[in-house]
Structure 1
Amino acid sequence: MSIGLNPYLVFNGNTREALYFYEKALRGNVVGIMTFGDLPEDPNHPLTDEMKTLVMHAHLKVGDADLMFSDTFPGTAHKADGDTVQIAIHPTEESIAREIFAALEDGGQVVMPLQKTDWSPLYGIVKDKFGVTFQVNVAEEQPQG
């Protein structure tokens, strides 16, 4: 049996901004965007023109990983504290880790600056401007045997 898992990030009307921010910061590629307006109209639940432009589903490919995105459905409560789930990023090069961390830090808040730890030559935690918390971790080189 094979099971795939991926983060699904939900925003409150600014998914498109977040998607393109992460595309650049994480060196990803947008695979697709579907808006609520792309769905067949439902006379029982009419959408305003503004609601039709909101993102129902978006897909960002980052390396071998998939990030999914959506705006909350209009009228649905949205709470984003960014602390319950964190996204771990594992670049293999320190220079790439520094670039990603700096991009995520722009408009955000450093929780733990990038630094050497017992498990990593470079590790840090940053909460970005959308309230999503990322751990950036360069793996310790394994001895060749």
Structure 2
Amino acid sequence: MKAIVQLEFDGRCREAFEFYARALGGEIKVMNALGETKDVPLPPGSRPAGAESIRFAQLAIGDTLIQGNDLPPGEYRPKQGFNVALHVRDKAEAHRVFGALADGGRVETPLSEVAWSSAFGMLKDRFGTPWLILSMDE
């Protein structure tokens, strides 16, 4: 079994995934707009969104995958009750990733040293996605 984060957006999935690819050093593996896949039926109970809306996006960051899609107008709700936790190799990488994701977003817990990590912080990026950054160095 493998758990993969699936993020939903209000028409900004493409913009978000391009931002995440730059900020996290990842590679977009899939970016399918609804207009490009109109011959593929929607899942039962789904409503169509605009042709430019993203049906499915996938970003690879090392061995990790993040997936996403746009929701039809009026169906998006702000994210709450979770965060996307990124365990990075060292304090320098934590500062780089935190700074990149915080650009245009809101810092919830400033990046700082805590008992369990040399660099720990939490933020919501410009798309409303909540992130937890944790340095794994000793």
Q: Under a length normalisation based on structure 2, what TM-score does the superposition of the two structures give?
A: 0.88
The list of structure 1 runs, each at least 4 consecutive aligned residues, that deviate by more than 2 angstroms after superposition, is: none
1:84 lines up with 2:119 in the alignment? no
Cα separation, 2, equivalents of 1:125 and 1:24: 19
Cα RMSD of the aligned pairs, angstroms, is 2.0
Partner of 2:60: 61
Cα separation, 1, equivalents of 2:116 and 2:73: 44
Flag structure 2 segments of 5+ consecutive residues without an equivalent: 42-47
If you compute each CA radius of gyration, which structure gives the higher value, 1 or 2? 1
- 1:63-93 CA distance string (max 9 Å, x none): 1110001000x2451101x331101101112
Partner of 1:117: 114
> Structure 1 residues 41 and 56 mapped into 2: Cα distance closer, same or farther (>3 Å)?
closer
* Partner SS state of residue 50, structure 2: helix
Which residue of 11, 15, 18 corresponds with 2:13?
15
Cα separation, 2, equivalents of 1:129 and 1:63: 23
Identity of aligned residues (%): 29
* Partner SS state of residue 85, structure 1: coil
* Partner SS state of residue 90, structure 1: strand
1:108 lines up with 2:109 in the alignment? no
Q: 2:105 touches 2:124 (CA, 8 Å); kept in 1?
A: yes
Cα separation, 1, equivalents of 2:73 and 2:12: 15
Larger fraction in strand: 2
> Structure 1 residues 41 and 100 mapped into 2: Cα distance closer, same or farther (>3 Å)?
closer
Count of residue pairs brought into register by the alignment: 133
Partner of 1:139: 136
* Partner SS state of residue 77, structure 1: coil
Flag structure 1 segments of 5+ consecutive residues without an equivalent: none
